[in-house]
Amino acid sequence: MCSGASRRASGKSTKVLSRNTADERSEDEGDKVSVDALFFEIANAPTVGYRCSNGTVISILQDPLVEDCTGGVVWETAFALSQYLTKHAELPFPSLEQRPVVLELGAGCGLLGAALAHSGCDVLMTEVDQAMVHLTQNVAVNQPAPPGWLRCCRLMWDCEDDIATAWQVAELAPARGFDGIVATDVIFDIALVPLLLRTMHCTLSTSGVVFVCVQVRCADAHAAFLDTAPKYFSCVECLTQEFRRDASTDWAADCECELFRLSTKVKIHPK
């Protein structure tokens, strides 16, 4: 993992993020230094506020001391993807329902999923056991107005029972699938790449779309993801240039964030 994994809380007050947050860069500093300093400050705040597209400010409790997991703080990729996906009135998830149902894999402390829930989606956020305490707390205090919902559960990518539980918590039939899947900083271990892609493939609806925003944590795992993704999705698009040019996320280049969109599931025949 990158050096950000060693961030420690200093007891500073809540830091509120908004569409203009990443523009808070001083004129006499280089952009990369300023952006790094900004996100270091964010990680050191015990609570992070985020102003959603509807004006609601959600509150995300952080704990950088969560053991064996980096899901205790808000990372650059979660903020960037929330900015990118909620910038327009029409969300990029195809759905026959009024509110698309979205699955988040590796939700961390929950900023992205909560932002989507307050922007018109119903969201199921998932994580490993170590991150579930704070994720559950953040879900409880950031519920959208009814009939919208925000829920969470454990989901280990190699556990069929966890996937079955996710269907139950989301009140979805597996044949329907999720309208969208989002994931940030989930590509860090080459052994997990096939499990990640398999989970995406088996939980996404036929017409659904996946957005994956990452910083390169492990070059081998990153290469394996790009090599293996076409075996599960016939449309694998790199949106990084568009992402970094967008007015809401132009700072993502400073943090070396990359964005991919996966869609059109490949039919996989059981062995």
Q: Enter the pTM of the model.
A: 0.88
As beta bridge partners, residue 153 has 126
Q: How far apart are CA 269 and CA 148, in angstroms?
A: 36
pLDDT of residue 12: 45
Q: How far are the Cα atoms of 29, 46, 81 from residue 245, in angstroms, in the given order?
A: 21, 31, 14
- Among candidates 93, 121, 78, which has minimal Cα distance to 204? 93
H/E segment holding residue 152: strand 150-154
pLDDT of residue 43: 75
pLDDT of residue 7: 38
Say which residue the tokens 């149902």 belong to.
101
Sign of CA dihedral 118, 124, 126, 132: positive
pLDDT of residue 201: 97
pLDDT of residue 72: 77
pLDDT of residue 91: 84
| Average pLDDT for runs of 10 along the chain of length 271 | 35 52 46 66 84 89 72 87 85 85 96 95 95 93 95 97 97 94 97 98 96 96 98 97 90 92 89 57
End-to-end CA distance of the chain: 35
Residues near 99 by beta carbon (within 8 Å), at least 6 away in sequence: 120, 121, 122, 147, 148
Q: Where are the alpha helices (DSSP H) in 111-217?
A: 111-117, 132-141, 160-170, 193-203
User: One-letter amino acid identity for 260?
Assistant: F
Q: Where are the alpha helices (DSSP H) in the chain?
A: 31-43, 76-85, 111-117, 132-141, 160-170, 193-203, 219-228, 240-245
**What is the 8-class DSSP label of residue 156?**
-
